[in-house]
Structure 1
Amino acid sequence: MDYKLNVTYITFGGHVEVQKYRYLYFVIMFTAYILIICSNSTIVCIIVINKSLHEPLYIFIAAFNSVLYSTAIYPKLLIDFLSERQIISYSACLFQWFICYSLGGSEFFLLLVMAYDRYVSICKPLQYHTIMRKTTVNILLILAWLLPACQISVAPLMINNEKLCYFVLKGIICNSTLNKLQCVSSALLNIYGLIVFVITVPLPVLVILFTYTRIFIVTYRSSREVRRKAAQTCLPHLLVLINFSCLSAYDVLLARLETDFSNTVRLIMFLQLVIYHPLFNPIMYGLKMKEIYKHLKKLLMYSPRLSYSH
């Protein structure tokens, strides 16, 4: 193979018997992609259509969806399953890495502001509308998208012109293991990546846990009705947080661990990140949050009647 071609293109080496099961993989992932788009879009549409849900919490939930994240992964993945060679250009790989990690960082930021919203709503109810004004919500949404993008963009820019000695990536998408393809590992990049990881994952998680601890202390001293309402809105957030934190920590730390996991183990963890998590979010918010579930139930009951009338 030509050296220039090797420098330009990266081969995905994490597929498990893709030649044998290519059509099975394609059907499973295509079905998952459609379900992710439909379920997440349904939650967003319900929040947009119903004015009663035009509150900060539900606006943050609408912004916290996996459609963009999945779209950055699934189309290329589906093409690879049907291709003889699973390759990607180095520049496209860097772009996919940037998109996936910046969107992942946005999810943690949105989880953080949702926790803050619940804290103000439950612990400072009289000041809620003063603190969580429309301007404040808009600023938080902009920061949720811009801050992670600015932080993550530094890493691809740093390694864009670095010389590569390896051209096979241990995975089926471009992730944090990409920097292992360099001839010489960059100490500066490793330090910067660790700082970004701490700012993006452990720090927000600790703040969120502290916030919910304060919420539980306040609700414990309140009436049973207050505790019930707090549990309805806080429990889905905590479950999503725990789920996403574990998967993100595995993905980021994978590049820093010397343990050589088998392709099967990597594939199982990858499927949890790109299938389980994007489907877990709408299920939690659609079924566990009373207001969204109420409108979802109306929509499901209305659709059969509409079809029958036609």
Structure 2
Amino acid sequence: MQQNNNVTEFILLGLTQDPMRQKMVFIIFLIFYTGTVVWNLLIIVTLKFSRSLGSPMYFFLFYLSIADTCFSTSTAPRLIVDALSAKKVISYNECMTQVFAMHLFGSMEIFVLVLMAVDRYVAICKPLRYPTIMRPEVCFILMILAWIGSFIHSTTQNALVSKLPFCGPNLIDHYCCDLQPLLNLACMDTYVINLLLVSNSGAICSSGFLLLMISYMVILYSLRNHSEEGRKKALSTCTSHIIIVVLFFGPCIFIYTRPPTTFPMDKMVAVFYTIGTPFLNPLIYTLRNAEVKNAMRKLW
């Protein structure tokens, strides 16, 4: 707890210490974050007010855009501001808040991606039962369960990290507060806590990835009975989804399913799932969709 700590603030070292590269980091990630927020807000407004986009798929896409926006906002603004700051200081309470927000919206994104894969599986493999299985009330209950699961996961993570004593030093070799960098600074044996954290975050990442891969393989296998045009369309969609899943879950599994050690590439790996994937999700899942683009034109 904070009252037992000598450390009341942390210093983030960021992605680089080179002044020229810091300016490049500022420009590049400002563009990425602005694009993420603008595209996702555009999608949120379109899905909210368009009457033609009322299917379960768009219901889940709506919450995916919310999760993407909030997940990126939990890390990107500080990275952008710190790129031009001489001293990258974050207070203890702000650090704990960032950890909570990252894991709340990160796990929410995982749950929504799984629900979207389930929706696609039912639509392609059980088309006649789709309206019965994916009823609006069922989708609503699934989304409530996803929020509850995300909150429990994030609260558990914070409860474990907040019990760590920090005696100094307070330098975090990262651009955000996260579990592994904080474990490295704790002045106690963190083996048991790391085991609990890995069993929590690692289990969610690994099981989510496994479920998604199984669902997409089943979908692709079931396409053998469809027409050639239908196979090409579904294959194009599933391929793009699988690419995003690998880009998101690959770094997550690398970071959260290993002993409490840090590697030089950790920061760049984290960029893929904290900033890169929220930027790509609107382009892959929504803006390639003709129905969404037509709805945007009508709405605006």
TM-score (norm 2): 0.87
Paired positions, count:
293
**Residue 252 of structure 2: aligned partner:** 248
Residue 63 of structure 1 deviates from its aligned partner by: 0.7
1:179 aligns with 2:186: no
Q: Structure 1 residues 5 and 148 mapped into 2: Cα distance closer, same or farther (>3 Å)? A: closer
Residue 267 of structure 1 deviates from its aligned partner by: 4.4
Q: Structure 1 residues 267 and 160 mapped into 2: Cα distance closer, same or farther (>3 Å)? A: closer
Conservation of the 8 A alpha-carbon contact between 1:232 and 1:288: no
Equivalent position to 2:137, from 132, 135, 138: 135
Residue 114 of structure 1 deviates from its aligned partner by: 0.8
1:204 aligns with 2:208: yes
**Residue 111 of structure 2: aligned partner:** 109
Partner of 1:163, secondary structure, is coil
Q: Gaps (5+ residues) in structure 1?
A: 304-310
Spell out, residue by residue over 1:184-232, the C-alpha distance to the aligned partner (whole angstroms, 9 max, x if none): 1333322221221343111122122222222222211222243234335
Q: Structure 1 residues 85 and 266 mapped into 2: Cα distance closer, same or farther (>3 Å)? A: same
Which protein shows a greater Rg?
1
Conservation of the 8 A alpha-carbon contact between 1:232 and 1:290: no
Residue 95 of structure 1 deviates from its aligned partner by: 1.3
**Residue 49 of structure 2: aligned partner:** 49
**Residue 91 of structure 2: aligned partner:** 89
Equivalent position to 1:119, from 118, 121, 124: 121
Conservation of the 8 A alpha-carbon contact between 2:52 and 2:295: no
Equivalent position to 2:218, from 214, 219, 225: 214
**Residue 98 of structure 1: aligned partner:** 100
**Residue 160 of structure 1: aligned partner:** 162
**Residue 80 of structure 2: aligned partner:** 78
Amino acid of the structure 2 residue aligned with 1:207 = L
Q: Structure 1 residues 188 and 222 mapped into 2: Cα distance closer, same or farther (>3 Å)? A: same
- Segment of structure 1 superposing worse, 75-84 or 215-224: 75-84
- Segment of structure 1 superposing worse, 56-65 or 156-165: 156-165
Spell out, residue by residue over 1:244-294, the C-alpha distance to the aligned partner (whole angstroms, 9 max, x if none): 1112223324x7364641xxx444334433432222111112343332244
1:284 aligns with 2:276: no
**Partners of 2:221 and 2:161 in 1: CA distance:** 47
**Residue 37 of structure 2: aligned partner:** 37
**Partners of 2:223 and 2:32 in 1: CA distance:** 38
Amino acid of the structure 1 residue aligned with 2:94 = A
Residue 19 of structure 1 deviates from its aligned partner by: 4.4
Q: Structure 1 residues 250 and 154 mapped into 2: Cα distance closer, same or farther (>3 Å)? A: same
- Segment of structure 1 superposing worse, 19-28 or 164-173: 19-28
**Partners of 2:197 and 2:218 in 1: CA distance:** 31
CA RMSD across the alignment: 2.5
Conservation of the 8 A alpha-carbon contact between 2:75 and 2:176: yes
**Partners of 1:214 and 1:21 in 2: CA distance:** 45
**Partners of 1:15 and 1:241 in 2: CA distance:** 24
Q: Gaps (5+ residues) in structure 2?
A: none
Q: Structure 1 residues 193 and 283 mapped into 2: Cα distance closer, same or farther (>3 Å)? A: same
**Partners of 2:80 and 2:220 in 1: CA distance:** 44
**Partners of 1:51 and 1:18 in 2: CA distance:** 50
Equivalent position to 1:231, from 221, 231, 235: 235
Q: Structure 1 residues 186 and 275 mapped into 2: Cα distance closer, same or farther (>3 Å)? A: closer
- Matched-pair identity in %: 27
**Partners of 1:31 and 1:222 in 2: CA distance:** 41
